[in-house]
Amino acid sequence: MKPDMSVKIAGINLRNPVMTASGTFGYGQEFAEYVNLEKIGAFVTKGLSLMPRAGNPTPRIVETPGGMLNAIGLQNVGIDAFIEKKVPFLRTVDTPAIANFFGYTIDEYAELARRLDAIPEITGLEVNISCPNVKQGGIVFGTDPACAAAVVTACRAATSKTLIVKLSPNVTDVVAMAQACADAGADALSLINTLTGMAIDLQKRKPVLANITGGLSGPAIKPVALRMVWQVAKAVKVPIIGIGGIMNATDALEFILAGASAVQVGTASFINPNAAEEIAVGMESWLTENGVASVSSLIGALEA
Ligand SMILES: Cc1cc2nc3c(=O)[nH]c(=O)nc-3n(C[C@H](O)[C@H](O)[C@H](O)COP(=O)(O)O)c2cc1C
């Protein structure tokens, strides 16, 4: 018998637990010729802002041992062009589309949540709180529990869709951040976003990235991500989506054992655009081989 691969993230039913991560899968359409979008659980759009953004100057990507650094700078088409040019494609795919978004003030976050709430093709919202708060001296929303809670409260009031809050790992106490977001009304939490890092060119005596620092992703961050998912899963009741260095089905299943109800695949899609679909197939095979009837029975089943 085929195992039951379905999972539920608050109000969203997924055919399997494999989603794609924001910023690594365009707006969905770009990957449609490589991936059967109806074989993955859900896909997440590039982070959207109220106005279009050109992003940072180049070079803005560099490979590092076991991963990559990116300083794309949240380049995106902006909410108006998203609605006009990207949403029509979403109508053609029978898979939940999650819109990732960010603002520089709480009002911007709320306005985006309101605009996205009105789009029937969008199933859920993922709030990226790893953004500087321009009104409070540039402190990153996602590093201060009270700031993060204020963003979540404002977004919660602006949408009735499933609200996922994406946590930054660049904090001392990720559990405090998770609890603040859950208490403020998040339906689910996704973690982790990239870890801040840098690369140096010795001969030039210069940073490799024009932005100097960038976000580290890929296999190098998996142990950190697993640890954070495990800690957060023990502390909050809302479902968790595990992200960070997931390259294969084994990685994905480890996150499920740690307490994630679903996972997101990011950097792996740059190496193999079909990675997410192949990971979903691989997970199902593992369940079959190991006589596990449902993937949901593995959520948080780590013996520790
Ligand atoms: C090139 C690139 C762009 C990204 N853009 C976004 C973004 O717009 N919004 C966001 O929340 N996360 C963004 N991320 C973070 C990923 O969604 C993910 O959290 C992170 O890369 C860790 O997963 P991975 O190791 O599987 O790549 C980006 C990552 C990369 C590599």
pLDDT-based confidence at residue 136 (cuts at 50, 70, 90): confident
* Statement: 7-55+74-198+217-298 belongs to CATH 3.20.20.70: yes
Q: How many residues does the chain have?
A: 304
Residues 211-232 have a mean pLDDT of 97
Mean pLDDT, the chain, as a whole number? 97
Residues 258-275 have a mean pLDDT of 98
Residues 53-80 have a mean pLDDT of 96
Residues 277-299 have a mean pLDDT of 98
Single out the residue of 9, 29, 219 nearest to residue 126, CA to CA.
Answer: 9
Query: Residues with catalytic annotation?
Result: 131
List for the chain the helix, strand, coil content (%; round to 5).
35, 20, 40
60 CA distance to ligand 1 centroid (A)? Answer: 13
Which pair of tokens denotes residue 246? 């997931």
Sheet of 61-64: strand order equals 61-64, 67-70, 213-217, 195-198
* pLDDT value at 263 more than 90: yes
Residues 243-268 have a mean pLDDT of 98
pLDDT of residue 134: 80
Q: Which atom of ligand 1 is nearest to the CA of 126?
A: 11
pLDDT of residue 50: 97
Residues 271-292 have a mean pLDDT of 98
pLDDT-based confidence at residue 139 (cuts at 50, 70, 90): confident
* pLDDT value at 131 more than 90: no
| DSSP per residue, 175-234 | HHHHHHHHHTT-SEEEE--PEEEE-EETTTTEESSTTSEEEEESGGGHHHHHHHHHHHHH
Q: Is 218 in the pocket of ligand 1 (CB under 6 A)?
A: yes
Residue nearest to atom 3 of ligand 1 (CA): 23
Which pair of tokens denotes residue 281? 């197939």
pLDDT of residue 178: 98
pLDDT of residue 132: 81
Q: Which atom of ligand 1 is nearest to the CA of 267?
A: 27
Cβ 215 vs Cβ 192: under 8 Å: no
* pLDDT value at 33 more than 90: yes
Annotated domain spans of the chain? 7-55+74-198+217-298
Residues 158-172 have a mean pLDDT of 97
pLDDT-based confidence at residue 237 (cuts at 50, 70, 90): very high
Torsion angles phi and psi, residue 8, rounded to 5: -125, 130
Q: What is the pLDDT of residues 240-250, one digit of tens each?
A: 999 999 999 99
* pLDDT value at 206 more than 90: yes
Q: Which atom of ligand 1 is nearest to the CA of 130?
A: 11
Query: Angle at which helices 275-289 and 249-258 pack, to 10 degrees?
Result: 70
Share of the chain above pLDDT 90, in %: 96
Q: Is 217 in the pocket of ligand 1 (CB under 6 A)?
A: yes
